[in-house]
Structure 1
């Protein structure tokens, strides 16, 4: 514990401790009458802040802050809740960046209030009045604050909904800022509490990023689809893609740098699965039902074909080529492991195909549609093949019988492009990734604002968001459900130094 300079107008001591999660320090900013605190519970990924202070407003602020320094652009997300009934309807909490730790510093916040108002509040210059832009959305608990150069944007949502932009502002802030979580009681004689879950600070790809040539860092995360708690299992500075949960529940596999890796739960050192000559493997790989075999997509054959499909024992070995021509991208085994389903381009057209798992018979075109079809996967009971298609304008989810009949559209969203439906082992749920309307319907690029969403297979409820993240290509291309149908694995992306 150390005493801060009074010139900073921070009336309490700064606590630098490992218990603050992704942040380094916590302090009261300004001169609250009562000292606040900050705690982090790693079991639940929860931050809890207690703070006093009269306001974050006008030309001076008083509040509790947990923070660290950050340089450059960022995307800052968190689920935010003010706890209890509170004393003042204007009590507030949320996400903040500050140019300094002084009480009159330039700052920007994504904020929620006790009276249910949420929005964007910022001080454009040191000592100036705060500008407030409130949203029509009330009771927002998902907050996002983004910086791109000197452009700051706030988006909010009620949990389960997609994010909506509140406002954007040009603020000439320094390149390095203090970034963190805050709570303010809006009452000199009170302390108030706020909790924050699934706190993520993404450092996005630079503007001159070159797709499929440049890569940033990766987190492999585990998500409980019912509690929506997220845990980072493994991270690297490079590109990790498409985790598959191993059916015996021992760990997961993923691809990186053309190879397939296996990592057991609780361990930190991945091991390479021997794929012999196949060393240019992409993110379309799937473990067979029961876990005995592995299907991969690899550009290790003739160059003119691009990606081809191979199978090999899960323990490793020499891959057996299944598709005679390409490009072909593997997406799923039938529950009896007798069939493979995949996306392939034939005669200039992308369609869903299936073939015998041993490659003994000619492939069968299931969709034969001039528009782009992709992401095929069998349901656990073998009654359907789910896929995504752009044939009605936006990329939507579909399903059909395994013989290609009864092709039926499942989603009808005009502002979303949804990919890669993955069916839970109990057959009840569809997990998938969605891009916004800013992406071409037939594209699923790296490094974008995306959401993971969940809907029941009986279509009794609309899709709901279960994770807000920065990712895209490689996030959840292939099946990643846990055997108990409760959790999924996925990849999020950020610059890691």
Structure 2
């Protein structure tokens, strides 16, 4: 799958939303490169994004974007999550469908999946356990006879960070995505079509038990992300009837306070979707999150 690019007249905006003040600030804009899926560094000084099949660092103080160079890493997609140690990152590769671990500053990347996963499975990483020992990902089986490589299934799975101990947690056959550990490791939050036929936010225990629906809305809800203190969450809401998580749609980011998912409120509306907030982008102080919008003008 080739890297996404901006359409004629479109620009990419990296934005930071402050939940205390309600301020939504554009910190970087470009018409040259489509950037996606910001992670916030543990030091709070930079955002990590992908674009053009590569990984990039955006220095917040200097407003500067620089490429992070790797060896042994195939082209990547927008599913990348920092290792809790703060100095490594796990990345999903487009080229071979595996997950890699690499120094956040750049250098040699190492493939960590494939040892116990089913043959032919494509791995889309979304969560790393608080102790760094387990990865939560979407395990996708692709129709190799389809020139468009249609997905035959998309289930929530986990694996040890050394590639052993594969487990498939969901078995309903309904598409599920975005599994992310709660800060205390007690839950996996994700989106699934199992409850209503369109994506809604849910959670379950890391062993797959205790699944419960959290949003009951007409909107198509994707990618729940919890703040480091566990008291806030944000997720992406598409218009009713949206299929999958496409790009360039009128979307909103909904903020959850104090675990009250039923009282989630939209705090930003813009053109986006795919690439906006695929992975956790909360700042380390739990008061700000980053996202990417793709307006046209």
Structure 1-normalised TM-score?
A: 0.54
Q: Take 1:428 and 1:231, find their aligned partners in 2: how far apart are those partners?
A: 22
For structure 1, the residue ranges without an aligned partner over 5 or more in a row are 1-210, 302-306
2:213 corresponds to 1:409: yes
Partner residue, 2:281: 480
**For 1:382-461, what aligned pairs fall within 5 Å after superposition?**
382-391=185-194, 392-413=196-217, 415-440=218-243, 443-456=244-257, 458-459=259-260, 461=262
Report the 3-state secondary structure (helix = DSSP H, G, I; strand = E; otherwise coil) of the residue aligned with 1:329. strand
Task: Encode CA deviations 1:134-165: one digit per residue, 9 max, x unaligned.
Answer: xxxxxxxxxxxxxxxxxxxxxxxxxxxxxxxx
Rg larger in structure = 1
Name whichever of 247-256 and 341-350 sits farther off: 341-350
Task: Encode CA deviations 1:348-399: one digit per residue, 9 max, x unaligned.
Answer: 321011111121x131101122000100000000110100001121210000
Counterparts in 2 of 1:297 and 1:315: CA distance versus 1, 3 Å: same
Q: Take 1:299 and 1:267, find their aligned partners in 2: how far apart are those partners?
A: 31
Cα drift, residue 344 of structure 1: 1.2
2:170 corresponds to 1:380: no
Name whichever of 377-386 and 234-243 sits farther off: 234-243
2:65 to 270, 289, 304: 270
Q: CA RMSD in A?
A: 1.8
Cα drift, residue 460 of structure 1: 6.7
For the 8 Å contact 2:113–2:162, the answer to whether it is kept is: no
Report the 3-state secondary structure (helix = DSSP H, G, I; strand = E; otherwise coil) of the residue aligned with 1:488. strand
Report the 3-state secondary structure (helix = DSSP H, G, I; strand = E; otherwise coil) of the residue aligned with 1:327. strand
Cα drift, residue 345 of structure 1: 1.2
Q: Take 2:278 and 2:200, find their aligned partners in 1: how far apart are those partners?
A: 15
Cα drift, residue 300 of structure 1: 2.8
Cα drift, residue 280 of structure 1: 1.4
**For 1:199-238, what aligned pairs fall within 5 Å after superposition?**
212=4, 215=7, 216-237=10-31, 238=33
For the 8 Å contact 1:277–1:300, the answer to whether it is kept is: no
Q: Take 1:479 and 1:328, find their aligned partners in 2: how far apart are those partners?
A: 17
Structure 2-normalised TM-score?
A: 0.88
Q: Take 1:362 and 1:338, find their aligned partners in 2: how far apart are those partners?
A: 11
Deviating beyond 6 angstroms after TM superposition, the runs of 4 or more aligned structure 1 residues are none
Q: Take 1:457 and 1:327, find their aligned partners in 2: how far apart are those partners?
A: 35
Cα drift, residue 420 of structure 1: 0.3
Q: Take 1:234 and 1:214, find their aligned partners in 2: how far apart are those partners?
A: 15
Q: Take 1:431 and 1:214, find their aligned partners in 2: how far apart are those partners?
A: 25
How many pairs align? 277
Q: Take 1:212 and 1:309, find their aligned partners in 2: how far apart are those partners?
A: 20
Q: Take 1:433 and 1:357, find their aligned partners in 2: how far apart are those partners?
A: 27
**For 1:180-329, what aligned pairs fall within 5 Å after superposition?**
212=4, 215=7, 216-237=10-31, 238-301=33-96, 307-324=97-114, 325-329=120-124
Cα drift, residue 343 of structure 1: 0.5
For the 8 Å contact 2:215–2:261, the answer to whether it is kept is: no
2:156 corresponds to 1:352: yes
For the 8 Å contact 2:72–2:110, the answer to whether it is kept is: no
Counterparts in 2 of 1:214 and 1:490: CA distance versus 1, 3 Å: closer
